[in-house]
Amino acid sequence: MKIETFKECFEAACDELDKRRYNVATMLYYKALTMICDYYIEEETNKVVTNHTQRFGILKGLDKDIFSIVSPMFKTYRNTYAGVSLRDDAVRIKNAVKKVAGIIGVEIG
């Protein structure tokens, strides 16, 4: 995964948040969160993640701090399936992305 792709997704989520499209922003922030995690996992283990279960399992063993940030966001993301995301949901995941990026040393705007 290229870090530029992650940044593009994060920026798109920010655009959607600015447009008050909270469901789409939440989905895109979560996608950015999984992308940054997959980047980290690949950098640290040379493994390519193929699903959420695998991602969470690897993160739990690799970095408990990152796992504790990412894991609770899955429920927020799943709520987008019903189209019930609020601004707070999008911001919560956005902040999680920023925390994870900071931990692994990836700069985002």
What is the domain-level CATH number for residue 31?
1.20.120
Range of the structural domain that residue 53 is part of: 3-104
Per the structure, the count of domains in the chain is 1
* Residue 81: per-residue pLDDT: 86
How far lies 61's CA from each of 67, 73, 83, 93, 96, in Å? 9, 18, 32, 22, 19
pLDDT, tens digit, 9 for 90 and up, residues 34-72: 999 999 999 999 999 999 999 999 999 999 999 999 999
How far lies 41's CA from each of 66, 69, 89, 94, 107, in Å? 11, 15, 25, 20, 17
pLDDT exceeding 70 applies to what percent of the chain?
98
Instruction: Tell me the whole-structure pTM to 2 decimals.
Output: 0.94
Let me know if residue 109 belongs to a domain: no
56-93 per-residue burial string, b: 16 or more CB within 10 A, e: under 16: eebbeeebeebbebbeebbebbeebeeeebeeebbebb
* Residue 1: per-residue pLDDT: 65
User: Which range is least confidently modeled, 30-34, 45-49, 78-82?
Assistant: 78-82
Average pLDDT in the chain: 94
Let me know if residue 98 belongs to a domain: yes
Q: Any idea which residue has 């895109």 for tokens?
A: 28
Let me know if residue 51 belongs to a domain: yes
